[in-house]
Structure 1
Amino acid sequence: MIRSVARGVLALFYLAAGVIHLIKPAPFLTIMPACVPFPEQVVLWTGVAEILGAVGLLQPASFPLRRAAAIGLALYAICVFPANINHFIIDMARPDSGLGLSYHVPRMFAQPLLVWLALWCGGVMDWPMRRKAG
């Protein structure tokens, strides 16, 4: 029950984020590291990836797409981490500190949690809530 609710919440989160990437890409472009080629296309395709991952996560457990979506969303969370770090650096360099440490520090800790949550919600792993045998 808890995993189903968490899966639904995570899917809604990624669906909303994906839609925002598509309809309002400007904020994502401002935090994109300069070394990323074709930033507009990257933001577009990351939005598409989030939407597809959300849809895949909501598939029945017997359908292999759920596990693939979970792995994809976990990898996605890892791949966007440099943009989050870049956003942190940009904000801290501003005279007003942008969104500040109270936003960025929890966000840095949330990224590994999103990786784990995607894998757990998608049934790729059970840790740490594995049922004991016997």
Structure 2
Amino acid sequence: MTDDALLDREPLLRGNLMAAACPSREVLQHVTSRWGVLVLVALLGGGTQRFSELRRRIGGVSERMLAQTLQWLEADGFVQRTAHPVVPPHVDYQLTRLGREVAGHVRELADWIEGKMPAIQRERQRRLEAVAAPAAAKTRRARVAERA
């Protein structure tokens, strides 16, 4: 029996991200997606929040993407959705125990990135200049050749 077939039949004791059919890849995609990271960090810092509050906190996210991301994170057991039986509808979102754990790790990564932004920006600029210099020299040589 292949490893992929075993993954379909037996409960996992531990995921294997390197296995093509491992469901942990899908969870990793949900957690580390552009909006997944931001939703987890927003919920970690804000406790229970309504959809509209999350949307305001997370600049640039569309209603559709926020709804989809919340559904993924809820299905993975990271977010708890509570719908209150009132009119108009009132729905709250909060992290589960598992969600707080993963959000803590994601927050550490986000903090590291934010703290390293000056170094990252310097590297980006250095790379941009390294790529631009040969292109500029090639353009100058082409202009000189045209005049000759």
State whether TM-score is above 0.5. Answer: no
Structure with greater Cα Rg: 2
1 or 2, which has the higher strand percentage? 2
TM-score band w.r.t. shorter chain? under 0.3
| Higher RCO (C-alpha under 8 Å, 6+ residues apart) | 1
TM-score calculated relative to the size of structure 1: 0.26
Tell me the TM-score normalized by structure 2: 0.25
